[in-house]
Amino acid sequence: FHKIGGVLVLNTDYLLVSKFLNLSYVTIYGSYMMVFQVVTVLMSSFVNAITASVGNFLINQNDDEVTSIAKQFNTVFIALATFISLNMYFLVNDFITSWIGEKFILGNGIVILMLVNVFISVIRIPCDIFKNATGFFGDVYYPLLEGVVNLFFSALLAFYIGLPGIIIGTIISNVLITLIAKPLYLYGKMFGRFNALKKYLSFVLKPLIFSFVIFAVFYFTREQIIFFKVSNWFD
């Protein structure tokens, strides 16, 4: 179900782009998604590599030790998501220009929306690791729900604002299911139902605030910061 849900979300976006926009947008959107999905593939390989080790570690640990390692994982991956998103923000349009041409680049606002989903795809990893390590797979229908929510909001918003609406619909489904429902289910199983929200916030709140501050600083000072502009494959 998890794989089916992921395929449903991804293919729904492509179908909606072709439905509400012209086919050239499918090519442009697909080009960006190919770049961003490199992150997903690399992160999936990492998750598969360390899940067994995390599972072995958790067997003999008490709640305090599990809480500590969960907090560390979330902090590290939020920092990693921040680093990846910032670098992609400043480099992805130059890469697309070098790859297939300047006429295929998207506007700054749309790129930011797409990077929100990239950011979420990275910060969700600790939850996936702990779910696989602990064997709490009771959220089996959540990915299908995520696909349905994505279809509803993306189609609705695409009708009014086009491509940004499709991406915002995906963000909404990611936030509701990936960042809220799934972690609360997992941490409810790990720490008790009534401790889930408190634990989750203790893991992610401070790192997320720090991350958003960094994003804001870089965004509002982007014109004053010198970055290398990639104009060809040899830069």
Q: Are 210 and 81 in contact (CB under 8 A)?
A: no
In terms of Cα–Cα distance, which of 146, 119, 31 is closest to 154?
146
Higher pLDDT, 47 or 145: 145
pTM: 0.90
According to DSSP, residue 235 is labeled -
Per-residue pLDDT of 46-93, as tens digits, reads: 888 888 888 888 887 788 889 999 999 999 999 999 999 999 998 899
Rg (CA), the chain: 19
CA distance 14 to 221: 34
Q: Are 150 and 169 in contact (CB under 8 A)?
A: yes
Helix, strand, coil percent values for the chain (each to nearest 5):
85, 0, 15
Measure the CA angle with vertex 154, ends 150 and 160; round to 5°.
160
